[in-house]
């Protein structure tokens, strides 16, 4: 029986694992072996695979009955999303990692029947740790986080370029122009899970990207919601884990401001 104690223990275990996995990322010192996935912009290294293997092996030893949806696998679209599921992005911000920008995250979500109930996002370079359990708030480096009411006029809007998808480049350019004139300033940092956690912790007023995958947002969406923020696709629908989707996020004010700009 899946209880609150079970979720708390699982959270503690995931935190321990992402910290250990973070060492693999930070200490990566052999030459990178880089492979292309969808195209020359969508890359994977041996470290993405090593972190994913480490997390999957460790989690499956303790939770052998929980399924996995992980980025560097070929299970997308094939995995049964019902019941208990771990959703893993081993290195969110692979381009940042390849280019040694020290701004990537490890993201592990635990979902039950298609809804994240435990989420952890960890940046091993600066040790920023974000986590949440559904119904029990979200925490940033041990402190509860609550979104403010800041308008996009007063704050930064983070965005992603959906750069793996040529068909979205025009749309990304158009949305950028519209948002830029209506907000304080914009940022493209290169790791969607961190971007969404930055909305949860009021570093960003809002964030959007024309297409993300479930492993990019599965953990961070719970962290943002538990902080009182909103996250949907551009049409206002709840995010699911069965497909890639547009994502718009914000606090109770900025979400609506940004969504309106993306609608117009």
Residues that bind Ca ion (CB under 5 A): 71, 89, 91-92, 216
Residue among 124 and 155 whose Cβ is closer to Ca ion? 124
Which residues in this chain contact ligand IPD in the complex, by CB under 6 A?
Answer: 71, 89, 92-95, 160-162, 190-192, 209, 212, 216
Q: Which two tokens stand for residue 151?
A: 């308008």
Residue among 10 and 194 whose Cβ is closer to ligand IPD? 194
Shortest reach from residue 21's CB to ligand IPD, in Å: 14
157 binds, among ligand IPD, Ca ion, none (CB under 5 to 8 A by kind): none
Helices 214-226, 192-200: axis angle to 10 degrees equals 10
Please tell me the distance from the alpha carbon of residue 221 to that of residue 241, in angstroms, as a whole number: 12
Shortest reach from residue 105's CB to Ca ion, in Å: 8
- Beta pairing class for 156-159 and 185-187: parallel
226 binds, among ligand IPD, Ca ion, none (CB under 5 to 8 A by kind): none
Four-CA torsion 47, 51, 56, 61, nearest 10 degrees? 120
Please tell me the distance from the alpha carbon of residue 56 to that of residue 39, in angstroms, as a whole number: 26
160 binds, among Ca ion, ligand IPD, none (CB under 5 to 8 A by kind): ligand IPD
162 binds, among ligand IPD, Ca ion, none (CB under 5 to 8 A by kind): ligand IPD
Instruction: Name, in order, each residue with C-beta under 8 angstroms of 78's C-beta and a sequence gap of 6 or more.
Output: none
257 binds, among Ca ion, ligand IPD, none (CB under 5 to 8 A by kind): none
229 binds, among Ca ion, ligand IPD, none (CB under 5 to 8 A by kind): none
Residue among 241 and 251 whose Cβ is closer to Ca ion? 241
User: Where would I find the beta strands (DSSP E) of 165-241?
Assistant: 185-187, 206-212, 230-232
Shortest reach from residue 216's CB to Ca ion, in Å: 4
Residue among 94 and 227 whose Cβ is closer to ligand IPD? 94
Taking alpha carbons only, the member of 106, 139, 156, 160 closest to residue 227 is: 139
Q: Which two tokens stand for residue 31?
A: 């030459």
Shortest reach from residue 71's CB to Ca ion, in Å: 5
Taking alpha carbons only, the member of 196, 157, 202, 199 closest to residue 180 is: 157
Shortest reach from residue 198's CB to Ca ion, in Å: 15
Residue among 17 and 152 whose Cβ is closer to Ca ion? 17
Shortest reach from residue 190's CB to ligand IPD, in Å: 5
Residue among 103 and 133 whose Cβ is closer to ligand IPD? 103
Please tell me the distance from the alpha carbon of residue 127 to that of residue 238, in angstroms, as a whole number: 30
Contact status, residue 88 vs residue 216, Cβ threshold 8 Å:
no
Helices 46-62, 4-26: axis angle to 10 degrees equals 150
């Amino acid at each position: 029986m899946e209880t609150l104690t079970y979720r708390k223990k699982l959270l503690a275990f995931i935190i321990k694992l992402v910290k250990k996995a973070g060492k693999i990322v930070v200490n990566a010192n052999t030459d990178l072996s880089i492979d292309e996935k969808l195209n020359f912009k969508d890359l994977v290294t041996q470290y993405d695979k090593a972190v994913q293997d480490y997390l999957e092996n460790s989690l499956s030893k303790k939770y052998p009955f929980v399924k996995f949806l992980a980025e560097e696998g070929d299970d997308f679209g094939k995995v049964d999303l019902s019941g208990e599921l771990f959703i893993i992005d081993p290195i969110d911000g692979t381009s940042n990692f390849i280019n040694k920008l020290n701004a990537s995250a490890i993201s592990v979500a635990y979902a039950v029947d298609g809804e994240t109930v435990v989420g952890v996002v960890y940046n091993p370079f600066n040790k920023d740790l974000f986590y949440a359990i559904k119904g029990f708030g979200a925490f940033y480096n041990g402190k509860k986080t609550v979104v403010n009411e800041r308008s996009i006029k007063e704050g930064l809007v983070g965005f992603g370029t959906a750069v793996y998808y040529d068909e979205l480049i025009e749309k990304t350019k158009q949305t950028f122009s519209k948002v830029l004139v209506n907000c304080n300033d914009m940022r493209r940092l290169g790791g969607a899970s961190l971007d969404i956690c930055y909305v949860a912790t009021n570093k960003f007023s809002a964030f959007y990207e024309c297409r993300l995958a479930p492993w990019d947002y599965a953990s961070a969406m719970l962290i943002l919601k538990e902080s009182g923020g909103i996250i949907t696709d551009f049409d206002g629908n709840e995010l699911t884990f069965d497909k890639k989707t547009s994502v718009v996020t914000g606090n109770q004010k900025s979400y609506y401001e940004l969504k309106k700009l993306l609608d117009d």
